[in-house]
Amino acid sequence: MKRRGSTPADAALLGVGACFLLPLLWLVLASLDTRAGHETRLPEQPGLANFAAVMTPELVLQPLWNSVVLSAGTGAVTLGAAVLAAYPALRNQGCSEGLKPPASSRLLAV
């Protein structure tokens, strides 16, 4: 197998990768540092105090409950619309004989 040499494309890809990895590295290091700032550095004493500060019912449970309510409501509306759209398509005479349903039923299926 032929080995290829280093190219400018490899350097460009490494630069793009660094643009994605350095902010993630800062995010992880800053979350573990109790005295985090804007600079990227290793925490002197890593801790989970930052996580404990935001894990309060007002900041976690209320948004989680809002997400559950919105998801359940969206699911119920979608299910209701799907049932209402599927009923006429299934009652169509052409479907039982292997014929294509009319264009209006195909439009509802999309």
Find out whether 97 and 77 touch, Cβ atoms under 8 Å.
no
Q: What is the pLDDT of residue 64?
A: 95
| All residues at 6 or more sequence positions from 26 whose CB lies less than 8 Å from its CB, including other chains | 40
**Distance separating alpha carbons of residues 3 and 60, to the nearest angstrom:** 52
> pTM to 2 decimals?
0.51
Take residue 40 and report the two structure tokens written for it. Answer: 């990227």
Q: What is the pLDDT of residue 98?
A: 54
N-terminal to C-terminal alpha carbon distance within the chain: 49
Residue 46's beta-bridge partner residues? 33
Per-residue confidence of the chain (110 residues) as pLDDT tens digits? 666 767 888 999 999 999 999 999 999 999 999 888 888 888 888 899 989 988 999 999 999 999 999 999 999 999 999 999 888 777 765 555 555 555 555 555 55
